């Protein structure tokens, strides 16, 4: 993935999650960094640039003891560079740009 500083960082594509939101279908790709860390879900939705950070938000996805994943958009947060310009953060890949609004998680701030 391209970063906000112009570098590239490696992530593995683990699969996709599909869901319906207000009757509209959506699909997002789930990632993990090359060091085997947490599951990572960057996304841009219909609220991006209006109600939420214009470059998208992130979600750290948890795995349960029985191997299922928990996707809770209430825990979505802005990239760190939204707060500190010198921070380098992954840019949301094109495949994770969806047209439905996800009105949960961190919003814009002043």
Tens of pLDDT along 69-101? 889 999 999 887 666 677 677 878 999 999 999
**Host domain of residue 30:** 11-96
Please state the pTM of the whole predicted model: 0.87
Q: What is the b/e burial string over 48-57, where b = at least 16 CB atoms within 10 angstroms of the residue's CB?
A: beeebbebbb
Q: In this structure, is residue 34 part of a structural domain? A: yes
Q: What is the b/e burial string over 3-24, where b = at least 16 CB atoms within 10 angstroms of the residue's CB?
A: ebeeeeeebeeeeeeeeeeeee
Domain tally, the chain: 1
Quick check: 59 pLDDT over 70? yes
Quick check: 29 pLDDT over 90? yes
Q: In this structure, is residue 17 part of a structural domain? A: yes
Q: In this structure, is residue 2 part of a structural domain? A: no
Question: What pLDDT is attached to residue 81?
Answer: 67
């Amino acid at each position: 993935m391209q970063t906000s500083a112009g570098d590239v960082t490696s992530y593995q594509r683990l699969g996709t999650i599909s869901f319906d939101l207000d009757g509209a279908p959506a699909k997002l790709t789930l990632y993990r960094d090359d060091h085997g860390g947490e599951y990572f879900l960057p996304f841009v939705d219909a609220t991006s640039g209006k109600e939420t950070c214009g470059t998208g938000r992130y979600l750290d996805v948890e795995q349960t003891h029985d191997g299922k994943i928990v996707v809770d958009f209430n825990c979505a947060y802005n990239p760190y560079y939204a707060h500190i310009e010198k921070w380098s953060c992954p840019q949301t890949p094109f495949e994770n740009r969806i047209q439905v609004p996800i009105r949960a998680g961190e919003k814009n701030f002043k």
